[in-house]
Amino acid sequence: MTVLEQFWKGDQKALATLISHVENQAEDYQKVLSSIYSKTGRAYKIGITGPPGVGKSSLVDKLTLKLCQNGSKVGIIAVDPTSPFSGGAFLGDRIRMQSLAGKKGVFIRSMASRGGEGGLAKSTYEVALVLDAFGQDFIILETVGVGQIEIEVSHQADTKVLVLTPESGDSIQALKAGLIEIGDIFVINKSDREGAPKAVAHLNMILDIKRHTEKWNYPVISTSAIYEKGISELQEAILKHQKFLTSHLLLEKNRKEQLKNELKNILERKLKQLLEEKMGDSFNWEETLAKIYSRKDDPYSWSEKIFEALKK
Amino acid sequence: MERKIRVLLAKPGLDGHDRGVKVIAAAMRDAGLEVIYLGLRQTPEMVVEAAVQEDVDAIGLSILSGAHMTLFPQTVELLKQKGAGRIILFGGGIIPQEDMDKLEKMGVGKLFGPGTTTGEIIEYIKSATRGRRKEEAIF
């Protein structure tokens, strides 16, 4: 039996093989994606993002338990950073997802970012397609610990959850632009710690402005993943947001926007490939650099020439 | 694109001494490998389930508790049952030579004792996993 045949029968090993195939951009990976594409678009994608150490993985663990209570299947893509120096990675999200071991319908895949910018891995979008086609009802995208501008998850998830802690306090102010703008639901995790009510109030204050001009109410939820507090509220908020998007016809609009983004990405990747092929190993960098360094040529007219040549 | 070697590391059984396995995880990351660390108190079932989902090339178990003659054979057996026999199972800990010999006969890969350098382990992983993965027909 081929891998795809096993995949359609619901075999986890075949799913894992296809994910690797797509993640490694192995030969004909695009053909794999083409052949499964008609079966995608059914899964609901939840993005979980936030600074390092706020408890994203622990929260995903507990949230997934709730989501699969009524038999829903959940796929998790947990991204951790690739070292820019060695190209290796330490993927530790599973340490915090122990309660999902052996859980039927749950599939967890750790991904190294592999040059992906914006908090997700390079092939997260494609890997989510594979999980979608496999029949997962929910796909959770857990980003790396992010700063202010890593907002790639907003191009891929239907509902974006931003996780912070009571200690985020003053830095919430700094997050006003960027990260905070992409959240649909806000979570103060580790709310058993001091300062949680203040952090919630702080967030509410910032969000009030948005609430006045938009139809969604941007809820702020206190959770404690280790004491399993607030998880039901978080699940309800996500499902409420899903309903909100559907009833306001925003789901289709947002997904088309995501699709546009992805189509552009694919073309960019192809153009980059073409450029690398054309420039190849035979390109005489030394001569070019000597000319530009000595100001006989300049980078801008040089790139124009290269670009003109590529167009032919 | 060059395929990254993916390794799953775990501490099975009742054994909380994880300093060693963490040192090895860091060394592997620095050698360009992708390391999935599962943490403490894992059962062979948990380890094999994660290894299948993560599509790893090798599993490393760190066992300092003396339970190696139970945990390694169980893991080997489960890997076979899941059709994942191509995954290299290696390990480290306080394991007497005669037990090492027995385990290797059962299909366990190399077992490393005290004094091993991280370089030796990484070299072993690289050479043991090379060419192990047979490309299956997708279509």
Burial track A217-247 (b if 16+ CB lie within 10 A, e otherwise): ebbbbbbbbeeeebbeebbebbeebbebbee
Amino acid letter, residue A95 = I
The pLDDT confidence band at residue B135, using thresholds 50, 70 and 90, is confident
Catalogue all structural domains in chain A, each as residue range(s) with its CATH number: 41-248 (3.40.50.300), 282-312 (no CATH)
Query: Could you give phi then psi for residue A119, rounded to 5 degrees?
Result: 95, -10
Nearest chain A Cα to B26, which residue? A90
CB pairs under 8 A between A and B: 97
pLDDT digits (tens, 9 = 90+) for B79-126: 999 999 999 999 999 999 999 999 999 999 999 999 999 999 999 999
| Backbone phi, psi, residue B14, to 5° | -90, 90
What's the whole-number average pLDDT of chain A? 93
Q: Tell me the mean pLDDT in the region A241-250.
A: 96
Predicted confidence at residue A278, as pLDDT, reads 80
Mutual orientation of helices A12-23 and A29-36 as an angle, nearest 10°?
130
Name the one residue in this structure whose structure tokens are 């043991």. B128
* Confidence tier at A89 by pLDDT (50, 70, 90): very high
Is the pLDDT at A262 greater than 90? The verdict is: yes
Q: List CB contacts (< 8 A) between B30 and chain A.
A: 83, 86, 88
Q: Which domains does chain B have, with CATH numbers?
A: 6-129 (3.40.50.280)
B63: helix, coil or strand?
Answer: strand
Put simply, the answer to whether B53 touches A109 (Cβ < 8 Å) is yes
Cα–Cα distance, B18 to B21 (Å, whole number):
5
Contacts of A95 in chain B (CB under 8 A): 37-39
Is A16 an interface residue toward B (CB < 8 Å)?
A: yes
Q: What percent of chain A has pLDDT over 90?
A: 80
> Which pLDDT does position A238 carry in this prediction?
98
The answer on pLDDT for A91 being more than 80 is yes
Residues of chain B with Cβ-Cβ distance to A1 below 8 Å are none
Q: How far apart are CA A256 and CA A251, in angstroms?
A: 8
Is the pLDDT at A226 greater than 70? The verdict is yes
Is residue A108 within 8 Å of A94, Cβ to Cβ? yes
For range A87-91, the mean pLDDT: 97
pLDDT computed for residue A172 by the predictor:
72
pLDDT single digits (tens) B26-44:
999 999 999 999 999 999 9
pLDDT for residue B136 is more than 90:
no
Q: What is the mean pLDDT of residues B49-59?
A: 98
C-alpha to C-alpha distance for A109 and A275, rounded to whole angstroms: 32
| Neighboring chain A residues of B4 at a CB cutoff of 8 Å | 24, 87-88, 112, 114
- Confidence tier at B1 by pLDDT (50, 70, 90): low
Distance from CA of B55 to the nearest CA of A (A): 6
Under 8 Å between Cβ of A36 and A131: no
User: Which of B32, B36, B55 has the CB atom closest to A87's CB atom?
Assistant: B32
Locate all alpha helices (DSSP H) within chain A, ordered by sequence.
3-8, 12-23, 29-36, 56-67, 124-134, 169-174, 179-182, 196-213, 231-247, 250-279, 285-293, 299-311
**Residues near A5 by Cβ (< 8 Å), separated by ≥ 6?**
none
What pLDDT is recorded for position A186?
96
Output the pLDDT for position A175.
66
**pLDDT given at position A312:** 77
Question: Which token pair is B41?
Answer: 């108190």
Interface residue of A61, A76, A91 to substitute, partner B, most B CBs within 10 Å: A91
pTM for this prediction: 0.94
Check residue B86 and give its pLDDT. Answer: 94
Sheet holding B88-93, edge to edge: A89-91, B34-37, B6-10, B58-63, B88-93, B111-112
Could you tell me if A13 lies within 8 Å of chain B, comparing CB atoms?
A: yes
